[in-house]
Amino acid sequence: MKKIIKLLILLIRNSPLFNVKGLRSFKWFLYRTYHNSPELYVGEKVILSIAHINKEASFICKGEVNIGADTYIDYSGGITLGDKIAISEGVKIFTHNHKIHDGFKNWKENPIVFSSLDIEDFVWIGAGAIILPTVTHIAEGSIIGAGAVLTKNTEPYGVYTGNPAQKTTTRRINS
């Protein structure tokens, strides 16, 4: 059954037809069932992928997660998403890399290094942001600005912008 659902996801993910209100719900149903995530909302042309199959690969949503169009998420190293998370359009998230030191000249021959990523509650990742595999933790309430390239873990309620992303302020929260 899971293979059939995966095939259906591959067929519909690039089809604008499934952004029509009634059919969009069907697309969400397929993603939610496949990833066992009851509050997962996925835009068009989203790719949730295991770039390299291994035992660490997992995609876990603990609550409501909204993923914008044209987003690529590699969960080879494992991703855990908290509640009330917004991942805007065009975001790229990577959880693997090839070893660069003490290896071969040809990158294809170097071993793959996996890293898990934990994204806590109330995180907002802006359009076009890139999360590199050196990041293992995005803290509660963090904002990653549009176009930012995040290379390091964040602090709670920090706002990170630029390339490489730097903390520019801390959010003030009233609730």
Q: How far apart are CA 60 and CA 79, in angstroms?
A: 6
Residue 56 pLDDT > 90, yes or no?
Answer: no
Burial of residue 142 (number of CB atoms within 10 Å: 0-12, 13-18, 19+): buried
Domain edges within the chain? 39-170
Report which of 136, 134, 154, 65 is spatially closest to residue 145, judged by C-alpha positions: 154
Q: How far apart are CA 124 and CA 140, in angstroms?
A: 10
Band of the pLDDT at 68, cuts 50, 70, 90? very high
pLDDT digits (tens, 9 = 90+) for 85-121: 999 999 999 999 988 888 888 888 888 999 999 999 9
Q: How far apart are CA 99 and CA 111, in angstroms?
A: 6
Say how many residues make up the chain: 175
Residue 70 pLDDT > 80, yes or no?
Answer: yes
pLDDT digits (tens, 9 = 90+) for 121-175: 999 999 999 999 999 999 999 999 999 999 999 999 999 999 999 999 999 988 7
Q: How far apart are CA 102 and CA 89, in angstroms?
A: 37
pLDDT for res 110: 86
Q: Provide φ and ψ at 40, rounded to 5°.
A: -95, 125
Q: What homologous superfamily does CATH list for 39-170?
A: Hexapeptide repeat proteins (2.160.10.10)
pLDDT for res 170: 96
pLDDT for res 75: 94
**Contact between 118 and 137 (Cβ < 8 Å):** yes
pTM above 0.85, yes or no: yes
More confident residue, 168 or 32: 168
pLDDT for res 106: 86
Mean pLDDT value of segment 29-52: 86
More confident residue, 20 or 119: 119
3-class secondary structure, 137: strand
28-37, 70-79, 133-142: range with lowest mean pLDDT? 28-37
